Amino acid sequence: MCCGLCSSFGSCVRYSALLTLIIAILYGGIRLRLNSKEFIFDEKEVSAITKAALASTRGQPVKETLSLIEKRLREKHGDHILPKEHQKWIFVNCGGWMGAMYILHASMTEYVMFFGTGIDTSGHSGRYLAEITDTLVSGTMRQWKEGGMVVKEYGIGDYVHHAPGEVTGVQWTSGTIMVEYGRGVIPSTLLFALADTVFGTTDFVVFYETIKIYAISLGRELLQGNF
């Protein structure tokens, strides 16, 4: 019996070691690919376009600012921005918070979207294999970084950075909208983005709409040679 337990334990250790090695090799390959890839977007460019639109539409409704941001991105990046018929606000439930997203671009390694919430909401940011940056168009966001008790508050025009592997507590006031850019292993972010939908709200209409729009955008990018 002891030999059997030792054998089972030894098998588990070997399989765990093999799995760890495979994950390490895959991650290394992905990092190598990301380091050598020429990206379509740049976080500074997306933030600059957002801030310029804020300045140009000061005093006007937020929808005018968002419309101008999308127009400027479409002028610069053309077919890398989704056509209007594939754009819509979709609910997002994850990490205990609830918001909505409006996808402008999504590929294997990048995404650009509007993110916002109509209610006060807070929760866990998620820990990603991607770098995420946001520029606020309206409202406020609070970020509580792991490892301390310091909370930082951001307002209109502020730039928020979320490093790969980082996790924070997040809070948004009602009416907050931001322009978000992500770069890294984008499919990995869907695990967090859809977890509460699958295991919590069980809103499979939202699940379907999210997957559908991502698949459409991903397909368009692959056809343009953007891997």
> Do 158 and 67 lie in a common domain?
yes
> Do 7 and 105 lie in a common domain?
no
Distances from the Cα of 210 to the Cαs of 87, 88, 159, in angstroms?
A: 11, 10, 26
d(C-alpha 225, C-alpha 223), whole Å: 5
> Do 26 and 131 lie in a common domain?
no
> Do 24 and 65 lie in a common domain?
no
> Do 47 and 128 lie in a common domain?
yes
> Do 1 and 79 lie in a common domain?
no
Query: Which amino acid is residue 188, in one-letter code?
Result: S
Read off the pTM: 0.85
d(C-alpha 219, C-alpha 227), whole Å: 10
> Do 145 and 189 lie in a common domain?
yes
Phi-psi region of 225 (alpha: psi -120 to 50; beta: other; left: phi over 0): left
Structure tokens at 51: 């801030």
- Token pair 């990206």 is at which residue? 39
What's the CA angle centered on 65, arms 98 and 85, to 5 degrees? 70
The range of the structural domain enclosing residue 197 comes to 43-223
Residue 155's domain is classified under what CATH number?
A: 2.60.120.10
Q: What is the mean pLDDT of each run of 10 residues along the chain (227 residues)?
A: 54 74 64 74 97 97 98 96 95 95 96 98 94 98 96 98 95 98 91 90 94 94 85
Total domains, the chain: 2
> Do 76 and 127 lie in a common domain?
yes
> Do 202 and 148 lie in a common domain?
yes
> Do 20 and 121 lie in a common domain?
no
Q: What is the CA radius of gyration of the chain?
A: 20
> Do 73 and 139 lie in a common domain?
yes
> Do 77 and 7 lie in a common domain?
no
